[in-house]
Amino acid sequence: MPFEGMSNLQAAYAAAFKQERPNLPEDISPDLAFIVQSCWVEDPNMRPSFSQIIRMLNAFLFTLSPPLPSMSESLTNEAAATSNGTMTEFSGRQKGKFGFLRQLFMAKRTRNLQ
């Protein structure tokens, strides 16, 4: 949890006026850490645009092995990939941490299998 132990106001103050940033996990991929930290640059002109962030995340996505869904996750998953790879519904688990990466994996895997 970013800024754990701080209220929203304390976290906003720490980020805005003290240039504090949340700690990244020690086991985070250097590529993903770079993406996150590039979005934290103080000068807005030096931050990546949303299209650049999407390109960086897509490049990072291709460096990962696709997750293998467990049997229970497959049965309870409410997300459905359409033929063009877009997701139409999201399960509670997929709305969680890095859920967008799981959605991208599933969409790309569905497209590759067709």
Tell me, yes or no, whether 82 and 50 share the same domain: no
pLDDT for the residue 82: 46
Q: Which domain holds residue 7?
A: 1-64
Domain match, 88 and 37 both: no
Rounded Cα distance between 73 and 91, Å, is 10
Q: Is 38 exposed, middle or buried (0-12, 13-18, 19+ CB in 10 A)?
A: middle
Residues 71 and 47 grouped into a single domain: no
Task: Tally the domains of the chain.
Answer: 2
Tens-binned pLDDT, residue by residue, of the chain (114 aa): 788 899 999 999 998 899 899 888 889 999 999 999 999 998 999 999 999 999 999 999 888 876 666 554 544 444 444 444 544 454 554 455 556 666 666 666 666 565
Question: Is residue 7 located within the same domain as residue 53?
Answer: yes
